[in-house]
Amino acid sequence: MNERTVPAGTDWAFGVHAVQGLLATAASRVRRVLIAQGRRGKQAEAVLALASAASIRVDRVPRAALDRCAAQAGFNGNHQGVAAERHAFALASEADLEARWPDFENPLLVVLDGIADPRNLGACLRTAAAAGADAVLLPKRGSAPLSSVAAKAASGALERLFVVEVANLARRLAQLRERGVWLAGGVGSADGVPYTEVDYRGSAGIVVGGEQHGLRRLTRERCDYLVHIPMAGAVSSLNVSVALGVLLFEAQRQRGS
């Protein structure tokens, strides 16, 4: 393997779950699968089976080569001896959102307002997929990239989501409100109402902000509700992906899912 000569427009997925998710749902994006020499077991066999079914090339490479590849990609986690070279993930455009909008019926949307840490971004995407969100909106500026680090944290969820890049988030939120989407913005304090007191049963959007500063001012102003999660213990706040999960699954509970 020559990990220094990867063609332009490629990205990497590292880890068993990320690669399995990619092969299961978007195999056409995979150029090849890399498995460390000596890597055996049921998980490796499952990856090999998926790659074989999709007629995707599999290379056995030294683990040190995978280490170097992960380092060059900026991935600092455990690659588990498995990686996939893929065409770079392409975000959907706002035009794509407009084209798909007529197909939505009472959509449940997720808006991530400036999640800067790629691991948090990936965890939020995994949470959104687990809760059955219809779309995830990301601002064009101020958000972590959908890198291999984010893909690893998403554990394959990235391939199952409709992720839209938004040029002007405040303007898009205003447009969603005009279309009857009620927006609930998560805040880390008691500024808002308890999250269980909001009705999420119609067209709804859950909006969460960045790790350090939360929702930006214009984003807060576009929300119909500001909601908080009451804390019972000594901890004053939750990780953004955990908080998103609490809000989303309350929405799904109310919606009967």
Phi and psi at residue 134, to the nearest 5°: -80, -30
| C-alpha closest to that of 183 among 244, 250, 110, 121 | 110
The reply to whether domains 10-87 and 94-255 share a CATH topology is no
∠ at Cα 214 (208, 215), nearest 5°?
A: 65
pLDDT per position as a tens digit, 6-28 = 344 568 889 999 899 889 888 87
Mean pLDDT rounded to a whole number for the chain: 88
Query: Is CATH 3.40.640.10 correct for 94-255?
Result: no
Q: Which pLDDT tens digit goes with each residue over 151-184?
A: 778 877 877 889 999 999 999 999 999 999 999 9
- CATH class of segment(s) 10-87: alpha beta
117/90 Cα distance (integer angstroms): 19
Domain ranges of the chain: 10-87, 94-255
Q: Please determine, for residue 193, whether its predicted confidence score (pLDDT) is greater than 70.
A: yes
